[in-house]
Structure 1
């Protein structure tokens, strides 16, 4: 879990999750589980296209009322190392075109490590420059990513996935 971290351009969230690493990985790679925690409540997520493989689409929408959905994520997966690491970006759309200027272009690396109490979880979100990092922090990175990480933790610690 010692990936390079540039404090000038990167933001991160770290947690020890009291659940097996395989369960946390599944919550990231099973679209039914991802929809349960991917956006902060009470907003709901819809997984529109989800192809967890290098080059695969990662497209989600969100809704405050569960009926009218607006775009949320349109990107691609860059790398998946089973049970250990996944990387995605919104700088390239699911149609493999350069993204129109997003509020914040980023590449997110999600790391799943062994820990005596379960899973050492780390999300590192990388930005092109310090200004983009600052903008993402101002837009509520810690509140937003913190809320969805807490929802992920709740899902996997209660053992809600029945695919064990």
Structure 2
């Protein structure tokens, strides 16, 4: 894995320990049914329209509130896929390999799953082209949005790997 320095004037970061294996978190990111359970803040619903988890593969999601119509949410591509370790995607290029029209916040997101004695050291680095994009993303609620979906992801995978799941399996 190539480490890229974090620039606080361009990058937003989030880190937490998730009490589940990197493999469980990887499944939550790469299985459409699991991604749909946590990818947008509740009560909004997500749908994985395309989840082609390979370098150059499409990453397309839609979302809806209440019983409304599903609207575009994410349209990008995966850049780096290192199973159970690292996933990088961008919305600067669409799933059809065209330059993206300016979105509210063009970005490249890197998800890093590291070893931790209590489970997984989960890190998110979202890189931006300039300080204005970084600041706009923060103002749009990066910490609340990514924080709440990371909490939902953690809850889902921790329950799935907790003692209750082991008891049900036996």
Distance in 1 (CA, whole Å) between partners of 2:140 and 2:68 is 25
TM-score w.r.t. structure 1 length?
0.95
Q: Which moved more, 1:20-29 or 1:107-116?
A: 20-29
Name structure 2 gaps, 5 residues minimum: none
Counterpart in the other structure of 1:152: 153
- The one-character-per-residue Cα deviations of 1:24-78 (angstroms, maximum 9, x if unpaired) are 1111111110000000000000111110000000000000024411100000000
Counterpart in the other structure of 1:96: 97
Moved over 6 A (4+): none
CA spacing shift, 1:77–1:66, aligned 2, 3 Å: farther
Counterpart in the other structure of 2:61: 60
Counterpart in the other structure of 2:81: 80
Distance in 1 (CA, whole Å) between partners of 2:68 and 2:104 is 24
Q: Which secondary structure does the structure 1 equivalent of 2:145 belong to?
A: helix
Counterpart in the other structure of 1:107: 108
Do the aligned partners of 1:43 and 1:64 also contact (CA within 8 Å) in 2?
yes
**1:24 and 2:25 are equivalent in the alignment:** yes
Distance in 2 (CA, whole Å) between partners of 1:35 and 1:4 is 31
Distance in 1 (CA, whole Å) between partners of 2:31 and 2:72 is 20
Name structure 1 gaps, 5 residues minimum: none
More helix by share: 2
